[in-house]
């Protein structure tokens, strides 16, 4: 049942490639108190194991947006201790549609800070993780702030690029279940919405990326 529980946390599915831009940058952020836990993650503190079974659904692509920068430092901890924001630990595995783990791949992450701003001068809240031999990754960061896209806030999201030898680059975004701005967002794909849970002062989320074998 544990595997069923874990798989229930996954956000798999085919999605269409959306070519629109991400939206303009704004320093105006929205409150994050509407983020609510939906599923309690029963994982231990260690990295999640590779699931015993997997789905054939390839992770959906999502817009890159205008704030990607090459050259992010290799690191899995994006938040300094004095950075404002709710702490987030995001873990998961990278695998193929044949359930094969993909180790040695790069997961390039970029996101807004708690105020909804991207660091376009440096590499704050940007980092490149490397999956281990079992395809696992473990990201320590904060829940991103929202920012205005025109007259509407985009829901909190984390930008991702997955680079693995022999596979096309996957560019996507991860979203948070319970964000009131998910509904009606022009870019969101429901299969990219993460289940998450609050454990004390830490928000935990799980997402497994699947590339076509
Ligand atoms: Fe964004």
Q: How far is the CA of 64 from the centre of ligand 1 (A)?
A: 8
Q: What angle do CA 98, 170, 163 make, to 5 degrees?
A: 85
How many Cβ atoms sit within 10 Å of the Cβ of residue 130? 12
- 85: Cβ–Cβ under 8 A, 6 or more apart, which residues? 79, 113, 114, 142, 143, 144, 145
Query: What is the C-alpha to C-alpha distance for residues 178 and 34, in angstroms, rounded to an integer?
Result: 7
How many Cβ atoms sit within 10 Å of the Cβ of residue 66? 12
Indicate the pTM of the whole model: 0.79
Q: How confident is the model at residue 213 (pLDDT cuts 50, 70, 90)?
A: confident
67-90 per-position pLDDT tens digit: 999 999 999 999 999 999 999 999
pLDDT average, residue stretch 21-40: 39
Q: Is 88 left (phi over 0), alpha (psi -120 to 50) or beta?
A: beta
pLDDT average, residue stretch 175-200: 95
Q: How far is the CA of 144 from the centre of ligand 1 (A)?
A: 9
What are the residue boundaries of the structural domains of the chain, listed by start?
1-213
132-155 per-position pLDDT tens digit: 999 999 999 999 999 999 999 999
Rg of the chain (C-alpha set):
16
CB burial readout 39-59, b (16+ within 10 A) else e: eebebeeeebebbeebeeebb
Q: How far is the CA of 44 from the centre of ligand 1 (A)?
A: 30
Query: What is the C-alpha to C-alpha distance for residues 82 and 162, in angstroms, rounded to an integer?
Result: 29
DSSP notation for 4-43: HHHHHT------PPP-S------S-----TT----S----
Q: How far is the CA of 3 from the centre of ligand 1 (A)?
A: 32
Q: How far is the CA of 158 from the centre of ligand 1 (A)?
A: 7
Query: What is the C-alpha to C-alpha distance for residues 198 and 205, in angstroms, rounded to an integer?
Result: 9
Beta bridge partner(s), residue 171:
161
Query: What is the C-alpha to C-alpha distance for residues 110 and 37, in angstroms, rounded to an integer?
Result: 23
How many Cβ atoms sit within 10 Å of the Cβ of residue 5? 13
Q: How far is the CA of 176 from the centre of ligand 1 (A)?
A: 13
Query: What is the C-alpha to C-alpha distance for residues 109 and 122, in angstroms, rounded to an integer?
Result: 14
Please identify, in words, the CATH class of the domain defined by 1-213: mainly beta
Q: Indicate if the pLDDT at residue 27 is higher than 60.
A: no
């Amino acid at each position: 049942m544990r595997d069923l529980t874990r798989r229930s946390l996954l956000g798999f599915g085919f999605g269409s490639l959306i070519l629109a831009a991400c939206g303009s940058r704004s320093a105006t952020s929205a409150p994050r108190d509407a983020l609510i836990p939906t599923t309690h993650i029963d994982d231990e503190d260690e990295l999640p194991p590779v699931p015993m079974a997997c789905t054939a659904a390839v992770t959906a692509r999502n817009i890159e947006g205008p704030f990607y920068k090459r050259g992010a430092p290799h690191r899995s901890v994006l938040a300094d201790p004095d950075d404002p924001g709710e702490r987030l630990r995001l873990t998961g595995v990278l695998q193929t549609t044949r359930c094969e783990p993909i180790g040695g791949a790069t997961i390039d992450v970029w996101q807004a800070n708690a105020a909804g701003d991207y660091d376009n001068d440096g590499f704050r809240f940007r980092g490149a993780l490397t999956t281990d031999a079992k395809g696992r990754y473990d990201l320590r960061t904060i829940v991103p702030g929202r920012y205005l896209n025109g007259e509407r806030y985009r829901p909190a999201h984390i930008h991702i690029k997955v680079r693995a030898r022999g596979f096309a680059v996957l560019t996507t975004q991860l979203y948070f279940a319970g964000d009131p701005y998910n509904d009606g967002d022009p870019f969101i794909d429901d299969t990219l919405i993460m289940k998450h849970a609050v454990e004390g002062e830490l928000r935990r989320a799980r997402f497994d990326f699947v590339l076509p074998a």
